[in-house]
Amino acid sequence: MSATRLVFWRHGESEYNRSRRIQGMIDAPLSPLGVAQAQEAAARLVAHAPVRLFSSDLARAHDTAAALAALLGGEVRTDERFRERFLGGWEDRLYAEVLEEHPDMIELLRGSRANDGVPADGEHPETVAACVLAGLTDALEATSSDETLVITAHGLAILYAVRELLGEDASATLDPLKNAHWTVLERADADAPWRLVSHN
């Protein structure tokens, strides 16, 4: 078994997103707006007829996925491999503050695959992508080819993984997803390459 339709869904606005604070692996909850975004997006995602729901174990992703699970009467399986990139000493600081000290951080916000000047204790994009793809492999194997798999995760983690799945040429213009938005990928069969259907 291996799904041929995949939806990567970014969590709704978190309290850290709302206050423009860097969160990375910090387990920030959804803001009231984030809860509403998750519910609104879930109502639209139902049209994709998802069957399997996987999520990062961080609350902002899990609670977003739970909005869809509630509509489907299903469950969310959590996996720490879908977590956001660890940003070391930048976490829990205001974006504006860090940008003033490290102007090159703007490349991270654009989803750069370079190390972006992240502190030495931060995580490299390649490490994040490898973790997400390992979790994805297991999730795909648990999903039949005629079923849609939804993975709820985080902006940078999703972008790094999608770029690996599509390759450099097909993903060169992709930006990180906005809160509660998603990317849809499809392939003809388990051995075929993924192709981008939508990235909103």
The pLDDT assigned to 107 comes to: 75
The pLDDT assigned to 58 comes to: 98
Nearest alpha-carbon partner for 193 in 165, 173, 168: 165
For residues 118 and 84, the model is more confident at: 84
Which residues are CB-contacts of 96 (< 8 A; sequence separation ≥ 6)? 20
pLDDT in tens, 37-75: 999 999 999 998 888 999 999 999 999 999 999 999 999
So where are the chain's domains? 5-199
> Residue 169 pLDDT more than 90?
no
> Residue 106 pLDDT more than 90?
no
The residues pairing with 97 across neighbouring beta strands, listed in sequence order, are none
The angle subtended at Cα 149 by Cα 143 and Cα 153, nearest 5°, is: 130
The pLDDT assigned to 115 comes to: 62
- Give the separation between CA 25 and CA 105, rounded to whole angstroms: 17
Strands in 148-153's sheet, in edge-to-edge order, are 76-78, 50-55, 148-153, 5-10, 182-186, 195-199
pLDDT in tens, 2-17: 888 999 999 999 999 9
| pLDDT average, residue stretch 159-183 | 89
The pLDDT assigned to 144 comes to: 86
For residues 30 and 112, the model is more confident at: 30
> Residue 1 pLDDT more than 70?
no
φ and ψ of 5, to 5 deg: -135, 125
- Give the separation between CA 29 and CA 31, rounded to whole angstroms: 6
- Give the separation between CA 119 and CA 102, rounded to whole angstroms: 10
Catalytic residue numbers, as ranges: 11, 84
Contact (Cβ atoms closer than 8 angstroms) between residue 11 and residue 78: no
From residue 103, alpha-carbon distances to 97, 106, 108, 116 in Å are 10, 6, 10, 10
| pLDDT average, residue stretch 119-123 | 84
Q: Which band of pLDDT confidence, cut at 50, 70 and 90, is reported for residue 192?
A: very high
User: Domain 5-199 maps to which CATH number in 3.10.450.100, 3.40.50.1240, 3.30.200.20, 3.30.230.10?
Assistant: 3.40.50.1240
- Give the separation between CA 88 and CA 121, rounded to whole angstroms: 5
Average pLDDT for the chain: 91
- Give the separation between CA 116 and CA 88, rounded to whole angstroms: 12
- Give the separation between CA 150 and CA 114, rounded to whole angstroms: 27
